[in-house]
Structure 1
Amino acid sequence: MIAAITNAGDSSLSLIVGCRNIPSINSDCLESLMRWFPITIAALLLASVAESVDAQDKLPGVDQQFAASSDTVPDFQKHVVPLLGRLGCSSAKCHGSFQGQAGFRLSLFGFDFSADHAALTAKSSSSDAFRIKPGAPEQSLLLRKATNEVPHEGGQRLLTGSWEHNLLTRWVKSGAAGTAQAKPPEPTEASPADLFFREQIQPILETHCFECHGFGNRKGGLQLTSRDNLLDGGDSGSAAVPGKPDDSLIIQAVHYDGLEMPPSGRLPKESIALLEQWIKEGAHWPKNTKLKGAGADAAQLASLQFDREEILFSEAGQRQTVHVIAKWVTGEQEDVTGLVRFRTNNDVVAVVDGSDIVAGEPGDTHVIAFYDNGVAAIPVIRPFTEQSPERPKYSNPIDTLVDHKLQRLGLTPSAPCTDTEFLRRVSIDLTGTLPAPDEVRDFRNDIRADKRERLIEELLKRPAYAAWWANRLCDYTGCSPTAFGEQQVLEVGHSFATQWYDWIYRRVADNVPYDRLVEGIVLARSRTDGQSQQDFAREMSAYVRNAEPADFSKRHSMPHYWTRTTIQEDSEKALAFAHSFLGIQLQCAQCHKHPFDQWTQHDFNEFSRFFAPLRTQGNISFPGFAAAQRGSIVNWPQLAIGDLAGDISLLRSGVVTVESGSDPRQPLMDWIREPSNPWFARAFVNRVWAGYFHTGIVEPPDQFTPANPPSNGPLLQWLTQAFIDQKYDMRWLHRQIVTSQTYQRSWRPNKTNTNDRRNFSRAIPRRIPAEVLYDGLKQVTASTQGLESVRTNLERRASGHLSMRMAGTHAMKVFGKPARAINCDCERVNQPTLLQAVFLQNDPLIRMRLEESDWLFDIEDAIADGVKQDREDLINQVWLRTVGRLPSESDRERAFRHLDSVDSLPEGLRDLVWAMINTREFLLNH
């Protein structure tokens, strides 16, 4: 490999080193890099393939390892569990479902090895036969049912004599061993009660109870991770009464007396007897007991890799066979292709047939391999056309990196959009505002070559820019009036949500670096150091008083993120934090190994521990809130931070030690701010990009996972690193994107890019957001004199300070404004629907806007005063107000014909406005 790199040419290596300062990289540097890139990569790939071939010669596949002629003994974690997953036994449709099948339940796609081994070696719930009888394959139902020797609802899963059958048979015959569990070191003076708990009770809790009641999980309000949790109980009361097993709910539940725990099936009688003995003897729980969740006893997979970097096809039906190599932290390597679950991210472009990847239609996608907790992705490309040798020069690195991918796909980018299209597009995207008629005329008439750059700078300085992007940041962070308790929605919830919005708005307007904005949320406190309870009550009351209220946005931090009633559990906080600031989804790992991601339940439980000390104390009633509005000083809910000490894992990004008495959020903030953090900056950059292109470089934008790779990895990497090097400057990021030729391309496709929706070869039309539509309707019908006030008065804008009051209204729901009730960017819906068409045609809001239009009233008054009206100018106004352009000749002719057919000019204009707001051109940002 070293020789291959050296032989690629010293100049290529020097060039790469010379381009290290990525944010300042210029076009010539990138052009040169791209010229050398194929040569360097070719050398690397040749070496990589050679190395892979050598490795393949040494690494037999599992089909060879477990052929009839071999005697390899299978490993439970490395071979048996993955095979059961690949065969579908542990899928959600079979024994991996929460209820299991026929009394037999496995963890979803396998990663709770202890529980799975216990389930496999237990007796069948429907007979006295063993699912697995160690040493006796012929008496094991797993094998007999899988081969259909015994009727099996899932049908035949194995052929007798196949390598898969040999693997399971050999495992059973060798004793059906499970995973080797390392026991925690025992204290030098462990009491008999300590030993009884650790050897008898702890394994029962971890294996059978933690899926629902472990770290981060409180099903029914019950958590079983400490003696205090056990005695506190859940929604049904205390789970245990020390010394009285018969009165203890946990014992009643395992006997299936009313409650039924675990839900997957009764515990063995021996386990129930041990639990009864434990409760009877006082439910002793040793100090410093270290518990683990599912997967904590697993061998550690270091990496999962394909045997090549990429698959390139030239025509449909072509095949390439791939191999997948697992590398363990012990240094062991194995070809696990036969045990891998494969998935294609686009079966139109490529499908998987065994270990073969088969080409489909032109395009690009990834094929994903899942094994153990590893996820590997390989790009698959089939160009649309032959690649063009010509390479245009770009001044913006975004364009160079996008164009490099387009060249590989044989895609020609669309031409630049028109000036009027650009003005409308960038005004909506940057400021959430339709351009005014005068703006359109002035921009069309501006002959300066840099007029687009000048416009961008002007828009970035407008308060509407801060208002719109504060609104988007509120989407990501979950700012909602309903997040503070249903009984408080009317006034208190709106007040808190408005304070939240105002706090973010000020920082966007002041261009506070993104990492500092987030720091003010992550490390937020209710009471500042040394602040008394009385002073805190006085401060918070001042923010809501009717007479000269104080300005909450000047506060150093914003604690409302943590005091929401919707995220009071540790697990809820972990999910919200991961979504808001990392762009990842951890929901599945709450209960089981994520079937399509790397996260295990143990990973989630560890991460949730950071948030265990955070609790909200107190509440505010509506009468108390009303008193504060009148000027009284009242008590307010506040964030309390308890004590936490110990080592906690940062989602496989290292371990931090939290000292007693310290804020556990500080190491979290330090971690996400590190330039090497794999999610923080990338997630924000990608979300902003998605806001401009209707699709993220990673799409969906909040699903950063190895199974969902970026469509253009080098582009995302450059933008992320440049954003960090620019000290998280949000304006820089917006400017860099919208000044690119990539952003300014037309929506009109050419012969090559009609079907491209993920490589940014053209603009993708998308419906304008709910808030922009609502404000736009007011703007379209405003008087000429009042138009500017409608556009700039943020207190009355749905995309501005009115946003919190508009939440949940009919218009906002119809057009997809998110309720911010779940951790998903998908809550904001920008797709057109039939209901939206009905709304625009005859909703009372539309009728009110048209019937009470100040613009039309002014025209009626002018006509009544005898002022002659220029019908052509008025027709132009309709088009300029709605779609941001002048009408074409055919548009103008149809408009004149309609005005000639009606009784009055205002009536005809009202019809034209109604017709225009129902066009796709108005509804879409294009």
Structure 2
Amino acid sequence: MRQTRLRPSGCICAAVLFCLIAVTQSATLAGVTEIEHVRFGLDVVPILTRLGCNGGGCHGKASGQNGFMLSLLGFEPEFDYRTLVLEDRGRRVFPADPDRSLILLKATASVPHGGGRLIDRSSDDYRLLRDWIAQGARPPAKDDPSIERIEVSPAESILGMNHTYNLKVTAYLTDGSKRDVTRRSVYQVNEPGVAAVESDGTLKTQSKPGLVAVMARYGDKIATFRGAVPFVSDTTEKRRIESELDGLESKVSKSMVNRLLFRQWKRLGIIPSPPADDATFLRRATIDICGTLPTPEEIAAFLADSSPDKREKLIQRLLDRPEYADYFAVKWADILRNRGGGYSTSRQRAGTTLFAGWIRDSLADNKPYDRFVAELLTATGSQAENPPTVWYRAVRKSTDYVESVAQAFLGVRIQCAQCHHHPSEAWSQSDYYGLAAVFARVGRKGGFADAEVPTDETIYLAERGEIRHPRTGEIELPRALGTGPFRIGPSDDPRIGLAGWMAEPSNPFFPRTMVNRMWAHFLGRGLIHPVDDARSTNPPTDPELLDALAADFAANGYDVKRLIRTIVTSHAYGLSSEPSAGNRGDSQTFARYYPRRMTAEVLLDGISQVLEVPTPFPGLPTGTRAIQLPDENVAAPFLDIFGRPARQTACECERVDAPSLNQALELVNSAEIQRKLTAPDGLATRLASGASSPEEIARTAFVRILGRPPRPDESKTAVAYLASEPDRGEACRSLLWSLIATSEFLFNH
């Protein structure tokens, strides 16, 4: 028989059911006055959440499960009440005999249930659900107290390995009362290798040290516990490490970053690796800032420089070089989706070239970051007059506006809130569509249609434009995340209000996201990781450091080059990448430099540089480097194999740095690398045809490719190989190729 959904109004069955509930409620309460008043939104919904009933894999998914639908994670209690109590002829609850209610029979598996048995009849969850039904299955009432906030205690703690701890969750209600909801909360741990958490709030640490966070949810509120499991547990050893760290700290600059780094290392009992040598630091900084390898002349000059501040001077020189703007323009072109692919013609190239040039010029001029973003968001006119309008070519729909802005500039992945309340954050559908309303009046005209995307068009502010909430149908007013509607007139551009909100020093997202993005670029991992996924369940590993950097960035006019200098002159950035006994296993505190493979463009340019043969790119002048390409649609198979992104989203995760078989095969069989090795005017030919000795050839190859002279054993092996090979040209090519294929070359370390 086909099931019919009942509606609370105009339905005889529902009216009869309400009468039955009312009568039963009076009778029930008369006999069980000792039972507390169980409230649907405050007590029942959190149980459904904890048991997973309203999860995305069960009744909370868009289509429900087996004819029964709940709102995802209980964010709509009124809807849940109607479906639970009124639909399906009210058979899910039976106040006259609560134990025969279908919801309890299913949950205890007394009748077949696809989710299996979820509770026992003796459990607190069963008692609460039964009491609610016995009390008449009250609906949510406007005067019911709601959850104002929850707190986990302790909020943070130093933990020992292989120990058990009890967390307590307290809910604070709007009527001023509070209650212990530890056993009714949902828990999630972010580092299962460090600790695990049970359903009753029991935290059990493992044998792995590190930082761990536990998210506790009760109803629609979230709180987080932060724990640190030190690398050592012996008290005497802890004191020795702290003394050693005090000695190290006294020898480094007293910067804010260093002070907070050392505080974290002391907290965890972790000793950082020693500083990297000068040759390694030069190569590292040159790659990270300019996307370029140092030349033999630069290496010789830097190693010969004995001034104590030579690293600081190096950083300033690198920031002043044009390659800095070229390199970071690629990064921002990825994030801002300056995309040339997906079109039926190449006529979009003019726009992507102009946009790439605007990004590059902004970086070279050290344009304040808040102004850079404001010019982008509020861009009007044509691409020829105002290149930032090209951003609106890829970002065209309400979903594009919201998700690109939130992820690129606020570090928030808000996609979930398009359809329902965000499962792990405070973002609702109203937040999502309020941000979409900021762009509701973006108008477009002119241009020509190329595939489905107009390639050249004029962006303007239309007189009208609105966004309606998909569930309520109400018009959403323009607003930023977590704020009220903008106070603007009918002729004002809401995008200006958004840009102004972002630039406020107190903004909780904007400066933190940029700081975190730059920290991840230079240190290999964000303080929040991934960099564009800030949420309660993914807290920063060092929130004090992140907040301090963000406050400093905002207070100093969003000066990007100053931010980079702050990060690159930190003690953490100058450390060796070699793990030591005191930090082996660390991946969160930056007690050593985390090696990472060079990006596709930097790697291809690096091979071209060391072999002295440029890479040809179709349609572009000879000598154009990969970090200077106007968009991702320039044909270069090497770049695609090594992770060049398609620029379809604002997520940095599109750029793939994981190794693959195709990459290994490309290094072995690349026609482009072979062309460079055999070029008549390349390094290999010059070394083979010159009068250099095998020792000189080996030194030249190591310095050019690895940025350092060969060690004695390496020199001996290379010289022996060169001397034994009858074909000098083949010997030189093989030596150069073998060094290019090493991890030491492929990785920035």
TM-score band by shorter chain is 0.7 to 0.9
| Per-residue deviation, residues 294-324 of structure 1 (Å, max 9, x unmatched) | xxxx9865432112231222231x2221111
Shift of 1:348: 1.4
2:197 corresponds, among 352, 372, 375, to 352
| Per-residue deviation, residues 682-707 of structure 1 (Å, max 9, x unmatched) | 00000000001110011111011122
Give distance in 1, aligned partners of 2:496 and 2:109.
Answer: 57
Task: Report SS of the residue matched to 1:868.
Answer: coil
Give distance in 2, aligned partners of 1:345 and 1:614.
Answer: 40
Task: Give the equivalent residue in structure 1 for 2:350.
Answer: 495
Task: Give the equivalent residue in structure 1 for 2:219.
Answer: 372
| Per-residue deviation, residues 446-477 of structure 1 (Å, max 9, x unmatched) | 22222111111110100001111122122222
Give distance in 1, aligned partners of 2:41 and 2:90.
Answer: 24
Task: Give the equivalent residue in structure 2 for 1:749.
Answer: 579
Task: Give the equivalent residue in structure 2 for 1:773.
Answer: 603
Task: Give the equivalent residue in structure 2 for 1:447.
Answer: 306
Give distance in 2, aligned partners of 1:659 and 1:878.
Answer: 66
Q: Is the contact made by 2:380 and 2:458 (CA closer than 8 Å) also made in structure 1? A: no
Evaluate the alpha carbon distance shift between residue 815 and residue 300 of structure 1 in structure 2; reply closer, same or farther with a 3 A threshold: farther
Evaluate the alpha carbon distance shift between residue 870 and residue 721 of structure 1 in structure 2; reply closer, same or farther with a 3 A threshold: same
Shift of 1:808: 6.8
Shift of 1:562: 2.2
Q: Is 1:870 the counterpart of 2:655 in the alignment?
A: no
Task: Report SS of the residue matched to 1:511.
Answer: coil
| Per-residue deviation, residues 154-194 of structure 1 (Å, max 9, x unmatched) | 11112113211111112223332333469xxxxxxxxxxxx
Task: Give the equivalent residue in structure 2 for 1:339.
Answer: 184
| Per-residue deviation, residues 118-169 of structure 1 (Å, max 9, x unmatched) | 2212444xxx672234565244211111112211121111211321111111
Task: Give the equivalent residue in structure 2 for 1:843.
Answer: 670
Evaluate the alpha carbon distance shift between residue 843 and residue 367 of structure 1 in structure 2; reply closer, same or farther with a 3 A threshold: same
2:651 corresponds, among 813, 824, 834, to 824
Task: Report SS of the residue matched to 2:122.
Answer: coil
Q: Is 1:674 the counterpart of 2:504 in the alignment?
A: yes
Shift of 1:656: 2.5
Q: Is the contact made by 1:807 and 1:819 (CA closer than 8 Å) also made in structure 2? A: no
Task: Report SS of the residue matched to 2:80.
Answer: helix
Q: Is 1:459 the counterpart of 2:318 in the alignment?
A: yes
Q: TM-score, normalised by structure 2?
A: 0.87
Q: TM-score, normalised by structure 1?
A: 0.71
Mapping 1:39-78, distance limit 5 Å: 71-78=35-42
For 1:881, the aligned partner's letter is R
Task: Report SS of the residue matched to 1:881.
Answer: helix
Q: Is the contact made by 2:196 and 2:204 (CA closer than 8 Å) also made in structure 1? A: yes
Q: Is the contact made by 2:164 and 2:204 (CA closer than 8 Å) also made in structure 1? A: yes
1:641 corresponds, among 423, 443, 462, to 462
Q: Is 1:156 the counterpart of 2:156 in the alignment?
A: no
Shift of 1:776: 0.7
Task: Give the equivalent residue in structure 2 for 1:592.
Answer: 420
Q: Is the contact made by 2:694 and 2:723 (CA closer than 8 Å) also made in structure 1? A: no
Shift of 1:338: 2.2
Task: Give the equivalent residue in structure 2 for 1:64.
Answer: none
Task: Give the equivalent residue in structure 2 for 1:319.
Answer: 164
Mapping 1:635-714, distance limit 5 Å: 636-643=457-464, 647-714=477-544
For 2:154, the aligned partner's letter is R
How many pairs align? Answer: 689
Q: Is 1:883 the counterpart of 2:730 in the alignment?
A: no
Q: Is 1:814 the counterpart of 2:644 in the alignment?
A: no
Q: Is the contact made by 1:767 and 1:923 (CA closer than 8 Å) also made in structure 2? A: yes
For 1:99, the aligned partner's letter is S
Mapping 1:537-616, distance limit 5 Å: 543=384, 555=386, 558-564=388-394, 567-616=395-444
For 1:617, the aligned partner's letter is K
Q: Which runs of 4+ in 1 moved over 4 A?
A: 133-136, 298-301, 644-649, 805-808
| Per-residue deviation, residues 764-785 of structure 1 (Å, max 9, x unmatched) | 11111111001111112116xx
Shift of 1:670: 1.4
Q: Is the contact made by 1:692 and 1:743 (CA closer than 8 Å) also made in structure 2? A: yes
Task: Report SS of the residue matched to 1:324.
Answer: strand
Shift of 1:661: 1.9
Shift of 1:99: 3.0
Q: Is the contact made by 1:563 and 1:639 (CA closer than 8 Å) also made in structure 2? A: no
Q: Is 1:426 the counterpart of 2:285 in the alignment?
A: yes
Task: Give the equivalent residue in structure 2 for 1:31.
Answer: none
Task: Report SS of the residue matched to 1:799.
Answer: helix
Q: Is 1:168 the counterpart of 2:129 in the alignment?
A: yes
Give distance in 2, aligned partners of 1:359 and 1:479.
Answer: 45
Q: Is the contact made by 1:694 and 1:766 (CA closer than 8 Å) also made in structure 2? A: yes
Q: Is the contact made by 2:339 and 2:633 (CA closer than 8 Å) also made in structure 1? A: no
For 1:342, the aligned partner's letter is Y
Structure 1 unaligned blocks of 5 or more: 1-67, 183-297, 527-535, 544-551, 627-633, 788-792
Shift of 1:805: 5.1
Evaluate the alpha carbon distance shift between residue 174 and residue 497 of structure 1 in structure 2; reply closer, same or farther with a 3 A threshold: farther
Q: Is the contact made by 2:145 and 2:175 (CA closer than 8 Å) also made in structure 1? A: no
Task: Report SS of the residue matched to 1:804.
Answer: coil
Q: Work out the percentage of aligned pairs sharing the same amino acid.
A: 33
Give distance in 2, aligned partners of 1:513 and 1:309.
Answer: 37
Shift of 1:874: 2.0
Task: Report SS of the residue matched to 1:518.
Answer: helix
Give distance in 2, aligned partners of 1:579 and 1:925.
Answer: 27
| Per-residue deviation, residues 770-820 of structure 1 (Å, max 9, x unmatched) | 11001111112116xx99xxxxx99711112x1515557422222112212
Q: Is the contact made by 2:685 and 2:729 (CA closer than 8 Å) also made in structure 1? A: no
Task: Report SS of the residue matched to 1:358.
Answer: strand
Give distance in 2, aligned partners of 1:109 and 1:807.
Answer: 45
Task: Report SS of the residue matched to 1:121.
Answer: helix
Q: Is the contact made by 1:559 and 1:639 (CA closer than 8 Å) also made in structure 2? A: no
Shift of 1:622: 6.4
Give distance in 2, aligned partners of 1:822 and 1:808.
Answer: 20
Task: Report SS of the residue matched to 1:670.
Answer: helix
Give distance in 2, aligned partners of 1:794 and 1:831.
Answer: 30
Shift of 1:80: 1.3
Shift of 1:916: 0.9
Evaluate the alpha carbon distance shift between residue 326 and residue 837 of structure 1 in structure 2; reply closer, same or farther with a 3 A threshold: same
Give distance in 2, aligned partners of 1:747 and 1:476.
Answer: 28
Task: Report SS of the residue matched to 2:521.
Answer: helix
Give distance in 2, aligned partners of 1:69 and 1:855.
Answer: 93
Q: Is the contact made by 1:130 and 1:139 (CA closer than 8 Å) also made in structure 2? A: no
Q: Is the contact made by 1:563 and 1:616 (CA closer than 8 Å) also made in structure 2? A: no
For 1:93, the aligned partner's letter is G
Give distance in 2, aligned partners of 1:583 and 1:675.
Answer: 16
Q: Is the contact made by 1:135 and 1:176 (CA closer than 8 Å) also made in structure 2? A: no
Shift of 1:100: 2.4
Mapping 1:2-151, distance limit 5 Å: 71-124=35-88, 130-133=91-94, 136-151=97-112
Evaluate the alpha carbon distance shift between residue 371 and residue 658 of structure 1 in structure 2; reply closer, same or farther with a 3 A threshold: farther
For 2:38, the aligned partner's letter is P
| Per-residue deviation, residues 800-845 of structure 1 (Å, max 9, x unmatched) | 2x15155574222221122121232211222322321111111222
Give distance in 1, aligned partners of 2:140 and 2:506.
Answer: 33
Give distance in 2, aligned partners of 1:880 and 1:667.
Answer: 53
For 2:697, the aligned partner's letter is L
Q: Is the contact made by 1:436 and 1:881 (CA closer than 8 Å) also made in structure 2? A: yes
Structure 2 unaligned blocks of 5 or more: 1-31, 467-475, 616-620
- 377-386 vs 90-99, greater mean Cα deviation: 90-99
Give distance in 1, aligned partners of 2:680 and 2:45.
Answer: 68
For 1:506, the aligned partner's letter is D
Task: Report SS of the residue matched to 2:259.
Answer: helix
Evaluate the alpha carbon distance shift between residue 638 and residue 492 of structure 1 in structure 2; reply closer, same or farther with a 3 A threshold: farther
